[in-house]
Chain A
């Protein structure tokens, strides 16, 4: 069972719980959507699975890795996370941005093999022409594709997408979903 969540509880404040005893299990190769109204805790659940939020109680297991006790680098090698929005405070190029997804594999110097992985992900998402543009100057849809590329280059076992197609047109939505299915 790759991902198992058991009795997960979380609240941003101690007196108000957002997640109450959530349990789920996801098999390898499954594409699962979590749906619900705004404010129901979808993003919060994803952040707990990725240990961005620390649950108040419950268990999260990915393969044999206990996510609640794992180090961030261990999780980053297992799970690629695509947020809804990203900070564009970094004034770097798209390549610089995607390179950050390779953090767990990078030595101080960038190797040609790392750049090859990045370019391959960009090709898959059809954003090679954006490589040397500034991330902050991209459109919402282009940014979303860059974030997906960044998660792809992490080469993880699973992906967590937080509304990955919210800024995309229909054509690109289909494209991203088919990449996610792959």
Chain B
């Protein structure tokens, strides 16, 4: 075989591989649409898919035969929850993907830099001191606002400490772990002094839940996710180069420090907005990016949308099971994400024999 034929053959193989990646993104997208429809149609009340469709049709026609109760269940309870699961899952997974690439470390998750511990402390503080803090006037948003504030504070602390030293990825991770432990100890102290009313709420928050979320939360999550998604997609090639590490990225023409700050801001916004409203939902941000990379390769231009879809699917499926398996009792969603994610992840690891 001459070299022209060999080049042609290899290019064909490469283009086939790329087309497979694009097809996979489409498949994941349609799977998500189907799961949204299923998730909106199941639950403890008898509102099925046809009722959901009638409620949605009711926006365009006054003649849809639906009760006010059915409309409320669909519009005020199920759909906001479904979309919050989709957006939180997508945000956590995208944050995990970017962080694993930048840190060149497969064990990094959106919570590695201590953001979940900071958020937990903020939320715990709000729950334990809710009566006293009510004068601040945040009302329903008291816990999310505190969680968001402390998660951002954690990230700023971690980044400042790393900047004071040599700005390396190792220092960043170690600072994150140390600050995380500090906030974790503070949460334990709050648990110790909390009363019988606030302790269960505190524990439940730390296990993550998507119940009671409203459309305005969907709006906030959507805004944060959309901006970060666009920023990541624009920087798809830069993220590919960043995965080579500082030296090689610089020699290939990427401003490593500038990109490090940009990705730090993006992952902080994604993780903080998600954790503020849903509590700490583990595993999505760790496992979804790995599963995506195993299926689609490591090109961020494809991995970003695929990973977001994968995270959305995992969290939505987990939340649907969490609220329907033992209905009307609801299981914390973090437990289900691990039960679904771990076996699937291990299956892929064993099949491919590596991460």
Q: Which residues of A contact B13 (CB under 8 A)?
A: 131-132
Bound Cα distance A106, B238 (Å) = 11
Interface contact B11-A115, CB-CB below 8 Å: yes
Q: Nearest chain B CB to A88's CB is how many angstroms away? A: 9
Q: Which residues of B contact A122 (CB under 8 A)?
A: 7
Q: Which of B237-252 contact A (CB under 8 A)?
A: 237-238, 240-241, 243-248, 250-252
Q: Nearest chain B CB to A98's CB is how many angstroms away? A: 11
Interface contact B254-A72, CB-CB below 8 Å: yes
Interface contact A72-B253, CB-CB below 8 Å: yes
**B236 on the interface (CB 8 Å rule)?**
yes
Chain A, residues 4-25, CB within 8 Å of chain B (1/0): the string is: 0000000000000000000000
Q: Nearest chain A CB to B216's CB is how many angstroms away? A: 34
Q: Which residue of B lies closest to A71 (CB)?
A: B255
Interface contact A108-B236, CB-CB below 8 Å: yes
**A179 on the interface (CB 8 Å rule)?**
no
The verdict on A108 contacting B250 (CB below 8 Å), with A87-B245, A92-B297 known, is no
Interface contact A100-B240, CB-CB below 8 Å: yes
Interface contact B11-A119, CB-CB below 8 Å: yes
Q: Which residue of B lies closest to A135 (CB)?
A: B298
**B17 on the interface (CB 8 Å rule)?**
yes
Interface contact B254-A103, CB-CB below 8 Å: yes
**B61 on the interface (CB 8 Å rule)?**
no
Interface contact B10-A96, CB-CB below 8 Å: no
Q: Which residues of B contact A74 (CB under 8 A)?
A: 253
Q: Nearest chain A CB to B8's CB is how many angstroms away? A: 9
Interface contact B255-A91, CB-CB below 8 Å: no
Interface contact A128-B6, CB-CB below 8 Å: yes
The CB with the most chain B CB atoms within 10 A, among A74, A91, A92, is that of: A91
Chain A, residues 59-81, CB within 8 Å of chain B (1/0): the string is: 00000000000011111110101
**A93 on the interface (CB 8 Å rule)?**
yes
The CB with the most chain A CB atoms within 10 A, among B236, B243, B255, is that of: B243
**B339 on the interface (CB 8 Å rule)?**
no
Q: Which residues of B contact A92 (CB under 8 A)?
A: 240, 297-299
**B71 on the interface (CB 8 Å rule)?**
no
Bound Cα distance A50, B249 (Å) = 12
Q: Which of A90-118 contact B (CB under 8 A)?
A: 90-93, 95-96, 100-101, 103-104, 106, 108, 115
Q: Which residues of A contact B243 (CB under 8 A)?
A: 87, 89-90
Q: Which of B240, B251, B293 contacts A50 (CB 8 A)?
A: B251
Chain A, residues 123-151, CB within 8 Å of chain B (1/0): the string is: 10000110110000000000000000010
Interface contact B297-A93, CB-CB below 8 Å: yes
Interface contact B244-A100, CB-CB below 8 Å: yes
**Residues of chain B having any CB pair with chain A under 8 Å:** 3, 6-7, 10-11, 13-14, 17, 104, 236-238, 240-241, 243-248, 250-256, 293, 297-299, 301
**Residues of chain A having any CB pair with chain B under 8 Å:** 47, 50-52, 71-77, 79, 81, 83, 86-87, 89-93, 95-96, 100-101, 103-104, 106, 108, 115, 119, 122-123, 128-129, 131-132, 150, 154
Listed A/B pairs (6) with beta-carbon separation below 8 Å:
A72-B251, A87-B243, A115-B11, A123-B7, A129-B6, A131-B14
